[in-house]
Amino acid sequence: MTGGIRRIALFGKGHALWSVAALLGKSLPANRQLIVIEEPGSDGPAPLTIRLDDPLLARLAISADDLQSADSAILALGTELRDWRGEGSRFFLAGSGPLPEIDDIAIHQIMLRAAVTYDQPDRLAYLYQPFRLPARVAEAGKFALQASDPRSPLSMLRPVVQIESGDYAALLKTRFASQRMEIVEGGPKAVVLDPEDGSIDRVELDNGRVIEADLHIDTSGMLGALAGRISGSDWHSLSGGLPFDRLLSTRKSGAPSQPSAVAQAVPGGLLITTAVRHASVSQLACASGVSVDGMQQQWLGPDAEVTVLAPGYARQPWTGNLVRVGSASAGFGPFLSADMTMLNRQAALLAELMPTRLDMAVEAGEFNRRHLILAEHIRDFVQLPLLLNGREDAPWSDLRDSDLPDSLAIRLQQFRSRGRLVAFDGELIDEQSWIDLMIGFGIVPERFDPMARALDMAAMARRLKNLTNAFDRALASIPE
C-alpha cells in the first residue's frame, strides 16, 4: 500500500473509547479526520482507578481538580489487601516513590541485616513497615497530594482517583469532543475485507451507515471479531495464573465505609470494593465452577450483573490496518486497576506510533512488541500476590502451585536470593511497590547486600531513627 493516511475510524463505547478518542483528537494533525463510532450501552457498575501521574492524564493536561469535578470522583492512595495471608490479615499496597538510600544501601537491605543480626529474619516486614509512608498515610485515614519538593517525604505519595466509568467517559467527551471529530452512534454489523491483502475495506454499521477509513481502531472487540482477527493462536491465555473468569458487580448508594479500595480474598473468589463519592461498587471475581447464585447471595445480593472474563492478551493486536486496544486486546480484571493501566498505556503508545503512510508495517511491529512488554509487566504484578497468598481454601491454595512466567520467576528468585529487584526493559510498575509487596507478603531474602555488612549499626540506628521521625512529622502534618 502507498499513499498517506487521511481517515481514522475509532470503534467502542464508554471510557475505553473516549480515552483513546481524547488523546487522538488532541494529537492528530489537522489533515487527519477522526471518525468516532460510539456503540450503544453502558459499562454497568464499573469504577475506575487511575493514578494521577498516569501519562495519559499528563498528555491531556487533566488535573486532580478536573477529575474531582466529576460527580463520583474521590482521591485515595491505594488498595487494602484483606485476608490474603489468612483470615484477619491486612496489607495496604500504595503506589510509592523510591525510599531514600543510606550510604547507597537500600533501606530494606539495612533492615534485613538488623533482623538477621538478632536472629529474627521473620520480623523483616515489621521492621520495614515504618518506612512505608504512603501506606501509613492511608492506614491513618489521611490523604495528601504528592509534594513537588523532592526533599519532602510526601514526594513519595502516588495518589489515585476513583471514579465511575460513565462519569470519566462524560468528562473526556465533554472536554475533548470537537468539530475535528465526526461522532456517529452505532455499532459494527459487518466488515468487508480487501480481497488482495485482507485489510479492512469498509465497515457496515447497524444503523445502515458504511464507514470507510485508512486505519481502524477497536476498543471493544466487536470489530476484531467481525474481521476474523480474534483467534486461539493469537490469544495468550492466563487462566492458569488468573483463574477468575466471572465478574459479578453491584452498586450501593450511601457513604462508603473507607475511601480506599479493598481487595478481600474470600472463599471461591476475590471481592473488590471501590469507594466513589456517595456510593461504593463491589465486584466479585470468581471461577466459572463456583455457584454464582451462592456468591451473589453471600456477598452482593440478587441484583448483581454478571460479566464473562477471559484473562489473557493478544500477541499481535495490530494487524494490517486494524489496531485492537483495551479489552479488545487484553484482559486482566479489575484487581489493581490492571485493565485501566493497560488501556491508558496503549492509548499513549498508539498516539506516539500513529502512522502517516498506508504501509504501516513498521509501526504495527513496534506497537506489538511494546504491547507485549506492557502485558507481561502487568500480568506479573497482578499474579504476584495471588502466588504469595497464605490461604488454605480453593482456589487460593492451588494458586501457589501455578506455573510462573519466566520473568516473574526471575524476579522472585533474585529477590529471595539477595533482596535485589530485577528490572526489565520498559518497566511499568514502581520498583518500591514490588519491594513492598514481596516483603509484606512474607519473602525474606536469604542474604543481605554485602555492603551492609560494613555498616556501624549503632550509628545507623540513629540515622534510621531520624528518617522515621521525618516520616512521622510528615504524617502528623496531614489533616484527617
Residue 425 banded pLDDT, cuts 50, 70, 90: confident
For residues 144-152, give the mean pLDDT.
Answer: 95
pTM as predicted: 0.94
Residue 9 grid coordinates: 475510524
pLDDT of residue 128: 96
CA–CA gap between residue 292 and residue 289 (Å, rounded): 9
pLDDT of residue 290: 75
At 455-469, the pLDDT tens digits run 899 999 999 999 999
Measured in Å, how far apart are the chain's first and last C-alpha atoms? Answer: 61
Residue 236 grid coordinates: 495468550
Determine what percent of the chain is predicted with pLDDT higher than 70.
98
pLDDT of residue 300: 83
Residue 57 banded pLDDT, cuts 50, 70, 90: very high
CA–CA gap between residue 166 and residue 48 (Å, rounded): 10
Determine what percent of the chain is predicted with pLDDT higher than 90.
80
pLDDT of residue 2: 54
pLDDT of residue 201: 94
Residue 385 in contact with residue 441, Cβ under 8 Å?
yes
pLDDT of residue 137: 96
Residue 289 grid coordinates: 465452577
At 118-134, the pLDDT tens digits run 899 999 999 999 999 99
